[in-house]
Amino acid sequence: MIELYLFLIFMLIAAIIAIEIQDLLAAIISLGAVGFSVAIMFIFVHAPDLAIVQIVVEVLTVVIFVAVVLRTTHVDETIGKKLSGTQILSIVFYAFFVILFLTVMIRSLQELPAFGNATMKVAKEYIKLGLPQTGGANIVADVILDFRALDTLGEATVLFTSVIGVAALMRKVGRK
Amino acid sequence: MRGMSLIVKTITNSIIGFIFIYGLYIILHGHLTPGGGFAGGVIIAGAFVLKILAFGSGASAEKRSTTVASIFESVGALLFIGVAMSGLLLAGTFFLNFLPKGVPLHLLSAGIIPLCNIAISIKVGAGLFSIFLALAAMKYIVED
Amino acid sequence: MIVFVSCIILFLIGLYAIVTKRNLIKIAIGFAFIEYAVNLLFALIGFKRGALAPIITQIDKPHNFVDPIPQALVLTAIVIALGTTALMLTVILRIYNRYKTFDIAEIRKLKG
Amino acid sequence: MLFIPLLFALPLITAFVIPILGKIYKPLVWIVTTVVSFILFIIALYGVAVTQEIPMSVYKMGNWPPPLGIVMAFDSFSAFMVLMISIIVFTTSLFSLRYLSRFTGQWKFYTLFMLMTAGMMGISITGDLFNMFVFLEIAAISSYALVAFGIEGEELEASFKYMVMGEIGGLTFLLAIALIYAKTSTLNLADISNSMQVIRGTTFFWMIIGMMLFAFSIKAGLVPFHTWAPDAYPAAPAPISSL
C-alpha cells in the first residue's frame, strides 16, 4: 500500500500549495492535482466507478473554476497583506479547534475497524443478492439504481436544483 | 475567424464522434462495467463543450442551446421519475424493478437499471452543458 | 489509521481556508477540499485487503469484493459536491461583478 | 400506504415540468404550483387521518426489506411536520403571485420552491441516514438559490454567508455518516439506534452526537450558529422567509 501513502502525501502538499499561492489559476491547478490524486487513490482501493466519476467531475470543476477566474481576476490581493484583527482571532480560534478536534477524532478513529477490514454487514447481502435479484453485474450500479435508487433520484434532483439555481442567478436583471 | 485555429477545428471534427460513442458505450454498459449514466452523460456533455470551445458560437446560438438543454434536462428528469412512478403505478411500489431481469452479464438485462442510466445521462449531460454555457460562454441569461 | 488521519488533515486544511482566508475563490477551494476529504475517507472505510472491485465477471466463482455501499454513497456525494460548487461559484461571480473584488474584508457586510 | 412516496414525488414532478411549462405559457406555472400544493395539503390531511389508526407505517422503496433498501417511516410526528410544511407551502404559493411580480424569471422561482418543498417533505419522512443527507442538500441548495434570487448585493452576500454555514453543517453531517457507517455498517436509522445503544458512552459515541448536533443546529439556525439568519431572512424574497 506504499503507493497510497505516496499519493496521500502528494495530495496534502498540493492542498497546502493551493491555499497559500497568490496566483488563483495556479491554485486551481493545484486543486485539480488534489482531485486527480483522489481519483487515483479510488483506483487503489478498488473503486473504478468512483475513479471514473471523480475524473469527469474534476475536469468539470476545474473548467468551471477557470471560467470564473478568467472572467474576473486571477490575482489574490489578500495574500501578503497585513493580517487584520478578526483574522488573527480566527486563526487562534482555529488552532484551538484543531487541537481539540484532532485529539477527539484520533481517539474515536481508534474505535473503528482498522483500515482494510471493512465490517460489511449489509453489504454482504448486496453482493449475494445483487446479480440474482436485480440482474446487474456491477454491484455498485445495482446499489445506486435499484436497492438505493431514491438516493440517485435525490442526486439527480440536486444537480437539477443547482442548474436551475445557476440559471436563476445568472439573469441579467433581478428586478423589473 | 470565430473559435480556435484550423488545426484545432480539424482535430475536433475528427474526434468528436469517438467521444460521443465512448460516452454512449459507458452509459449502455453501466450495469456491467464501471461507469454509468452519470459518467457517460458528463462525457457527452464534454463533447458539446469541446465543439463550442473549438468553433465558438454567437449569442443567438447560445440562447438557443440553453433553451434546448433546459428542455432536455427536464425530459431526462421526468424519464427518471417516470421509471420510478411506473413502478408505483404498474406494480405497486415506488422504484420497483418491475421489468424482467434477462440473462446475467448481457447487455439487455437488469430490468430498470439501463433505463435509469439512460435517463440520468440525458439529464446530467444537458444540465452540465447548461451550467457550462451559463458560467463560461454566455455573459448573462436574458429573460424574455 | 494513518490514511484516515490524513483525510482528517485534508479536512482541516479545507476548514483552515474557509475560516481564515479572505479571498472568495480560496474559500470555494477550501470547500472542495473538505468534500474530497470526506469522500476519500468514506471510500477508504469500505476497503478490504485482498478483495476485488465489486463487479461480477464470472458467475460461478466465489465473490470476494470490497464494500460496495460506500462507493455508491460517495458517487452520490461527489455529484452533490459538484452541484454546490457550481452554485457557490455563480454567487461568487455575481458578487465580483457587483463589488469588483474577491476580498471579503472589502465587501462590507461579508465581514465576520 | 401509496400516499407516502407521493409526498415528495409530486413536488419533484412539478419542479421538472415547470421549466417546460414556463416556455409555453407563463401564468400556468403559478396555477400548477398552487394546485399541486393544495393536493399536497390534502394528502397531508389524509396522512394525519391514517396515523390516528396506524401509529407507525413503514414504506419500503422498491420492495426491499429494511436494511437493504431505503425505508420511509410515517408516524404522528412526521405527519405533523408534513402537515405544517404543506400548509406553509400552500399559503405561500397562494400569496406569492403579487409579491413576485417585481422579479424577473418567475418560473425559476417556482421550480426552486417546489424542489425545496420536496426536500423538506423528504427530510421529515425518511428513515435512512444517507437519504436524509440527500434531501437535506436538496432543500439547502434550493434555499441558497432562493435567498439570492433578487441578485442584488445584499442578497448575494446573505446567500454566500448562508451557503458557507450551511455547507459546513452539511459536510459535517456527511463526515458523521461516514464514521457511523464505518462503525455500524448500516444506514437504516432504526438499525443505527440499536447499534448505538451498544457503544453508548465511548468517545466515538459522544463525538458523533456532537457532530450531529452541530450540523443540525447550523441547519436550523440555532443560537450559537444563528449568524446567517438575520442576514438571510430580510434578504430573501418574503415568501421564502416564511419557510
Chain B residues interacting with chain D (CB cutoff of 8 angstroms): 67, 70-71, 73-75, 77-78, 81, 84-85, 87-88, 92-97, 143
Is C53 in contact with B38 (Cβ distance < 8 A)? no
**Separation CA C50–CA C57 (nearest Å):** 17
The b/e string for C29-39 (b: 16+ C-beta within 10 A; e otherwise) is bbbbbbbbbbb
- If asked whether residues A7 and A32 sit together in one domain, one would say yes
Indicate if the alpha-carbon torsion angle C66, B100, A146, C80 is positive or negative. Answer: positive
CA-atom Rg of chain B in angstroms: 18
Using CA atoms of D41, D92, D136, D195 in order, give the dihedral in degrees to the nearest 10: -40
The answer as to whether B143 is a domain residue is: no
Q: Out of D102, D108, D208, whose CB is closest to A168?
A: D108
Q: Angle D128-D132-D134 (CA atoms, 0-180°, nearest 5)?
A: 120
Cell numbers describing residue A65: 473554476
Phi and psi angles of residue B139, each rounded to the nearest 5 degrees, phi first: -75, -60
Q: Report the pLDDT averaged over residues A25-39.
A: 91
Q: With 70 as the cut, is the pLDDT of residue A38 above it?
A: yes
- For residue D81, the model assigns a pLDDT of 81
Burial class (CB in 10 A: 0-12, 13-18, 19+), D229: middle
Percent of chain B as helix, strand, coil, to the nearest 5 = 70, 0, 30
Q: Annotate D141-191 with DSSP letters as a single string.
A: HHHHHHHTTT-SHHHHHHHHHHHHHHHHHHHHHHHHHHHHHHHH---BHHH
CB contact B136 to C (< 8 Å): no
- If asked whether residues A46 and A1 sit together in one domain, one would say yes
Confidence of residue B55 (pLDDT cuts 50, 70, 90): confident
As separate numbers, helices (DSSP H) first and strands (DSSP E) second, chain A gives 7, 0
ipTM of the complex: 0.90
CB contact B49 to A (< 8 Å): yes
DSSP-assigned letter for residue B103: S
Burial class (CB in 10 A: 0-12, 13-18, 19+), C23: buried
The answer as to whether B1 is a domain residue is: no
Q: Out of B34, B104, B135, whose CB is closest to C90?
A: B135
- For residue A47, the model assigns a pLDDT of 84
What residues of chain A lie within 8 A of the CB of D142, using their CB? 161, 165
| Per-residue pLDDT tens digits for D211-220 | 888 877 777 6
Is A49 in contact with B42 (Cβ distance < 8 A)? no
Spell out, as residue ranges, where chain C has pLDDT lower than 70.
108-112
Confidence of residue B139 (pLDDT cuts 50, 70, 90): low
Using CA atoms of A116, A117, A122, A125 in order, give the dihedral in degrees to the nearest 10: 90
How close B87 comes to chain A (CA, Å)?
Answer: 11
Mutation target to probe the D interface, by most D beta carbons within 10 A, among B67, B90, B94, B141 is B94
Q: Out of C38, C87, C109, whose CB is closest to D141?
A: C87
Q: Out of D61, D104, D135, whose CB is closest to A174?
A: D104
Question: Which range of residues forms the domain containing residue A75?
Answer: 1-81
| Per-residue pLDDT tens digits for A103-133 | 888 888 887 777 777 777 777 777 777 677 7
Residue of chain C with shortest Cα separation from A146: C72
Confidence of residue D189 (pLDDT cuts 50, 70, 90): confident
- Cβ atoms of B48 and B77 closer than 8 Å: no
- Cβ atoms of C42 and C67 closer than 8 Å: no
Confidence of residue D1 (pLDDT cuts 50, 70, 90): low
Q: With 70 as the cut, is the pLDDT of residue B38 above it?
A: yes
How close D97 comes to chain A (CA, Å)?
Answer: 14
CB contact D105 to A (< 8 Å): yes
- Cβ atoms of C37 and C11 closer than 8 Å: yes
Please provide the CATH number assigned to the domain covering C2-49+65-110: 1.10.287.3510
**Separation CA A120–CA A131 (nearest Å):** 18
Which residue is listed with cell 455508491? C72
**Separation CA C95–CA C69 (nearest Å):** 39
What residues of chain D lie within 8 A of the CB of A158, using their CB? 134, 137-138, 141
Q: Report the pLDDT averaged over residues D175-191.
A: 82
Cell numbers describing residue A110: 481508534
| Per-residue pLDDT tens digits for A62-95 | 988 888 888 887 777 777 777 777 778 888 888 9
- Residue B43 corresponds to which amino acid? I
Is D62 in contact with B88 (Cβ distance < 8 A)? no
Is C86 in contact with B38 (Cβ distance < 8 A)? no
Is A150 in contact with D131 (Cβ distance < 8 A)? yes
Q: Out of D160, D175, D177, whose CB is closest to C91?
A: D160
**Separation CA D176–CA D169 (nearest Å):** 11
Confidence of residue D238 (pLDDT cuts 50, 70, 90): very low
Q: How far apart are the first and last CA of chain B?
A: 30
Half-sphere exposure of D220 (CA within 13 A, CB side): 9
CB contact B97 to A (< 8 Å): yes
Is A163 in contact with B130 (Cβ distance < 8 A)? yes
Mutation target to probe the C interface, by most C beta carbons within 10 A, among A11, A56, A74, A104 is A11
Is C25 in contact with A114 (Cβ distance < 8 A)? no
How close D63 comes to chain B (CA, Å)?
Answer: 6
**Separation CA D157–CA D149 (nearest Å):** 12
| Domain spans, chain D | 1-127, 130-243
CA-atom Rg of chain A in angstroms: 21
Residue of chain B with shortest Cα separation from C90: B135
Chain D residues interacting with chain B (CB cutoff of 8 angstroms): 2, 5, 9, 12-13, 16-17, 19-20, 23, 59-63, 104-105
- If asked whether residues A71 and A96 sit together in one domain, one would say no
Q: What residues of chain B, 7 to 26, have a C-beta less than 8 Å from chain C? A: none
Q: What residues of chain D, 11 to 30, have a C-beta less than 8 Å from chain A? A: 12, 15-16, 19
Using CA atoms of C86, C91, C93, C99 in order, give the dihedral in degrees to the nearest 10: -170
Question: Which range of residues forms the domain containing residue B31?
Answer: 6-137
CB contact D66 to A (< 8 Å): no
- Cβ atoms of D214 and D165 closer than 8 Å: no
Q: Out of A12, A114, A137, whose CB is closest to C56?
A: A137
The more confident residue out of C78 and D66 is C78
Q: With 70 as the cut, is the pLDDT of residue D241 above it?
A: no
- For residue C33, the model assigns a pLDDT of 92
| Residues ≥6 apart with Cβ < 8 Å to B61 | none
Q: With 80 as the cut, is the pLDDT of residue A52 above it?
A: yes
Mutation target to probe the B interface, by most B beta carbons within 10 A, among C79, C92, C96 is C79
The total of other beta-carbon atoms located within 10 Å of residue D15's CB is: 29
The answer as to whether B144 is a domain residue is: no
Indicate if the alpha-carbon torsion angle B66, B48, B74, A175 is positive or negative. Answer: negative
Burial class (CB in 10 A: 0-12, 13-18, 19+), D56: exposed
Cell numbers describing residue C78: 461527489
**Separation CA C97–CA D151 (nearest Å):** 11
- If asked whether residues A170 and A129 sit together in one domain, one would say yes
Q: Out of C5, C45, C94, whose CB is closest to A106?
A: C5
Cell numbers describing residue D236: 430573501
Range ranked top by mean pLDDT from A8-22, B43-57, C94-108: A8-22
Looking at the structure of chain A, the number of domains it has is: 3
Is B135 in contact with C86 (Cβ distance < 8 A)? yes
Q: Report the pLDDT averaged over residues B43-67.
A: 80
Burial class (CB in 10 A: 0-12, 13-18, 19+), A94: middle
| Per-residue pLDDT tens digits for D168-180 | 888 888 888 888 8
Measured between alpha carbons, how far is residue A152 from residues A49, A130, A147, A163, D166 in Å? 14, 17, 10, 16, 22
| Residues ≥6 apart with Cβ < 8 Å to A87 | C20, C22
The more confident residue out of B28 and D232 is B28
Q: With 50 as the cut, is the pLDDT of residue D159 above it?
A: yes
Cell numbers describing residue D126: 425518511
- If asked whether residues A1 and A62 sit together in one domain, one would say yes
Q: Annotate C43-77 with DSSP letters as a single string.
A: HHHT-BTT-B-SB-S-SSSPP-B--HHHHHHHHHH
**Separation CA A105–CA D14 (nearest Å):** 43
Q: Which of A113-122, A160-169, D43-52, D160-169 has the lowest mean pLDDT?
A: A113-122
- Cβ atoms of B116 and B40 closer than 8 Å: no
- Count A/B contacts: CB-CB distance under 8 Å: 144
| Per-residue pLDDT tens digits for D84-143 | 888 888 888 887 777 777 777 778 888 888 888 888 888 888 888 888 888 888 888 888
- If asked whether residues A164 and A94 sit together in one domain, one would say no
- For residue D220, the model assigns a pLDDT of 65
Of all residues in chain D, what percent carry a pLDDT higher than 90?
0
- If asked whether residues A100 and A158 sit together in one domain, one would say no
Q: Annotate A72-137 with DSSP letters as a single string.
A: S--B-TTTTSPPPHHHHHHHHHHHHHHHHHHHHHHHHHTTSPPTTB---HHHHHHHHHIIIII--S
Confidence of residue B56 (pLDDT cuts 50, 70, 90): confident
